[in-house]
């Protein structure tokens, strides 16, 4: 807070030294205050990430517009009256100042970028229509007392709009970085609304105006201090997840609603432009809703897929395995064909993990998974990660001989990979238990899994790296090839 303590007295001393209502030093100090706020917000953006970074950049852009607007007034104060035309440019920049702020308040950062692009376009159209409304009663050369009062009230509404929604977003933010952003923006917006309202309604262009000039820079210095500290208002009490959801869901209505309000105000002055604003607001919000819905459908499909895929191996997970086994048993009862199940376990995997580490263990799991998947050549076969180092394979319609051939192929393929292991044989091997539906009408998934598990246990007990069937086998079955 050292900066305001030095900046404001210097501004006041300079204003008193230049006892002239149109002197350029006060405007220079106001431009410098906005520049300090802009630089501080840009610096904070460089230290932030994600949504907070985008928000700080938008606030910095708003400060840049305001600084340019005062800068035009500063240039105008150095130019003979009526020869520069900087007044209209300055007014336009003050209008554009609200565009980035409206965007950051009305566009939830979690929404897809296409929807946020629509938000940006709506914010620009809102700024254009707001500017058209102002210039409908403010001439390039200035305005009368009635127009000045209308202009003051118009900017009061804009400032109140920004302060209100900044406070709402602050209250609804549960993420700390966003709370700091909206907290700083709320503190700035409330201070700016108070200073601008006081200055526009109670300060004239005489000596009183010169004395009040240092007040203009205070909101910007406050914003700079909050940005540099990375802090906002004091933490507000949590308003609940429901309030947060309502605010985030309702934010996209802000820009179209404001467009409709400004368009309604333009009807007496520019009816065609007002109609265009209404059409843009309606179509823009509709397009945005469609884009968000498309994104949501894509996310739901992706989540549904991820919920059934093991992230380490890329194989179907236990959930998809259970659903597939249930589905195949139902199909087997209708068709009269059998279903074979293989339970596959990596031998001495705990020893491998403890000796070589979990990263190597994960590599071995991926390699085994890929090899097992490659052995299931039929489109109807399904290989899944059952849990830990255990896999399972569903072989619909496979005969006992076919099931044993697939199982032996899997066992031999894993052994031929020659993956190093601290196991007694020095290689990664698998033990397999095979089971098949014995009674299509009464067998259940649980019984089938239990029989395959018992066969797997028998393989382990018999020395590992072998296939054991849950039914009598007269001769060992060899892998094809």
CATH number reported for the structural domain that contains residue 362 in this entry: 3.30.70.270
Residues 119 and 249 reside in one and the same domain? yes
Residues 163 and 241 reside in one and the same domain? yes
pLDDT for residue 76 is more than 60: yes
* Lowest mean pLDDT across 138-142, 185-189, 247-251, 466-470: 138-142
Confidence grade of residue 475 (pLDDT, cut at 50, 70, 90): very low
Residues 145 and 291 reside in one and the same domain? yes
Name the β-bridge partners of 436. Answer: 340
CA distance 212 to 200: 11
* Greater pLDDT, 222 or 10: 222
CA distance 38 to 42: 6
Residues 276 and 355 reside in one and the same domain? no
* Lowest mean pLDDT across 82-96, 112-126, 180-194, 324-338: 82-96
Token digits of residue 422: 């601290």
Residues 106 and 244 reside in one and the same domain? yes
Looking at residue 138, the DSSP 8-state letter turns out to be: S
Token digits of residue 91: 């007014």
Average confidence (pLDDT) over 111-132? 93
Domain boundary among 284, 305, 326: 305
In a domain, 279, yes or no: yes
In a domain, 477, yes or no: no
pLDDT at 82: 47
Average confidence (pLDDT) over 315-339? 88
pLDDT for residue 411 is more than 60: yes
CA distance 169 to 57: 17
Residues 135 and 80 reside in one and the same domain? yes
In a domain, 478, yes or no: no
Q: What is the mean pLDDT of the chain?
A: 85
**Are 151 and 134 in contact, with CB atoms under 8 Å apart?**
yes
* Greater pLDDT, 81 or 428: 428
Residue numbers of the domain that contains 39 = 2-305
122's enclosing H/E stretch is: helix 113-135
In a domain, 476, yes or no: no
In a domain, 312, yes or no: no
Residues 80 and 195 reside in one and the same domain? yes
In a domain, 311, yes or no: no
pLDDT for residue 233 is more than 70: no
In a domain, 462, yes or no: yes
Residues 113 and 135 reside in one and the same domain? yes
CB contact set of 91 (below 8 Å; sequence gap of 6+): 69, 131, 134, 135, 138
Domain boundary among 255, 272, 305: 305
Residues 192 and 322 reside in one and the same domain? no
Residues 69 and 151 reside in one and the same domain? yes
Domain boundary among 305, 332, 354: 305
Confidence grade of residue 102 (pLDDT, cut at 50, 70, 90): very high
CATH number reported for the structural domain that contains residue 240 in this entry: 1.20.1070
The torsion defined by the Cα of 309, 312, 318 and 323, in degrees rounded to 10, comes to: 20
Residues 273 and 356 reside in one and the same domain? no
Confidence grade of residue 134 (pLDDT, cut at 50, 70, 90): confident
Residues 8 and 55 reside in one and the same domain? yes
In a domain, 410, yes or no: yes
Edge-first strand listing for the sheet containing 390-396: 382-387, 390-396, 339-346, 430-436, 467-469
Q: Report the percent of the chain where pLDDT is more than 90.
A: 52
pLDDT at 24: 65
400's enclosing H/E stretch is: helix 400-416
pLDDT at 402: 93
Q: Report the percent of the chain where pLDDT is more than 70.
A: 84
CB contact set of 207 (below 8 Å; sequence gap of 6+): 19, 21
45's enclosing H/E stretch is: helix 24-46
- 176-220 pLDDT, tens digit per residue, is 888 899 999 999 999 999 998 888 888 765 555 566 677 888 899
**Total structural domains in the chain?**
2
């Amino acid at each position: 807070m050292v900066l305001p303590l030095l900046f404001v007295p210097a501004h006041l001393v300079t204003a008193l030294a230049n006892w002239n209502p149109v002197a350029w030093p006060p405007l220079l100090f106001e431009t410098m205050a906005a520049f300090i706020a802009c630089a501080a917000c840009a610096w904070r953006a460089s230290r932030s990430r994600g949504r907070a970074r985008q928000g700080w950049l938008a606030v910095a852009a708003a400060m840049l517009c305001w600084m340019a607007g005062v800068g035009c007034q500063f240039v105008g104060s150095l130019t003979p009256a009526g020869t520069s035309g900087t007044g209209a440019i300055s007014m336009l920049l003050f209008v554009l100042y609200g565009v980035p702020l409206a965007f950051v308040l009305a566009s939830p950062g979690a929404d897809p970028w296409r929807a946020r692009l629509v938000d940006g376009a709506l914010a620009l159209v809102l700024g254009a229509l707001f500017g058209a409304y102002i210039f409908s009663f403010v001439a390039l050369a200035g305005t009368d007392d009635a127009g000045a009062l209308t202009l003051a009230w118009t900017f009061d509404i804009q400032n109140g709009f920004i302060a209100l929604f900044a406070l709402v977003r602050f209250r609804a933010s549960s993420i700390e970085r966003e709370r700091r952003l909206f907290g700083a923006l709320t503190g700035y917006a409330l201070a700016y609304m108070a200073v601008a309202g006081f200055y526009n309604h109670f300060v004239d262009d005489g000596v009183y105006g010169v004395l009040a000039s240092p007040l203009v820079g205070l909101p910007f210095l406050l914003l700079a201090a909050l940005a540099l500290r990375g802090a906002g208002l004091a933490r507000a009490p949590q308003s609940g997840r429901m309030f947060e959801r309502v605010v985030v869901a309702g934010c996209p209505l802000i820009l179209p609603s404001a467009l409709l309000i400004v368009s309604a105000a333009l009807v007496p002055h520019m009816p065609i432009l007002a109609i265009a604003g209404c059409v843009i607001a309606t179509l823009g919000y509709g397009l945005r809703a469609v884009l968000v819905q498309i994104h949501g459908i894509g996310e739901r499909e992706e989540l549904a897929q991820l919920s059934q895929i093991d992230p380490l191996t890329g194989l179907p997970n236990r959930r998809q395995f259970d659903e597939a086994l249930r589905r195949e048993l139902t199909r087997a009862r209708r068709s009269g064909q059998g279903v074979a199940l293989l339970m596959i376990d990596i031998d001495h995997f705990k020893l491998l993990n403890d000796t070589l580490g979990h990263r190597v263990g994960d590599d071995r799991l991926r390699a085994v998974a890929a090899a097992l998947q490659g052995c299931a050549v039929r489109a109807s076969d399904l290989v899944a990660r059952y849990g830990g180092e255990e896999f399972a394979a569903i072989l619909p319609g496979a005969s006992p001989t076919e099931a044993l051939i697939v199982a032996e192929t899997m066992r031999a393929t894993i052994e031929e990979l020659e993956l190093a292991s601290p196991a007694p044989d020095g290689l990664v091997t698998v033990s397999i238990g095979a089971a098949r539906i014995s009674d299509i009408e009464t067998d259940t998934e649980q019984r089938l899994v239990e029989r395959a598990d018992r066969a797997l246990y028998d393989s382990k007990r018999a020395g590992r790296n072998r296939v054991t069937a849950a039914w009598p086998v007269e001769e060992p079955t060899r892998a094809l090839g």
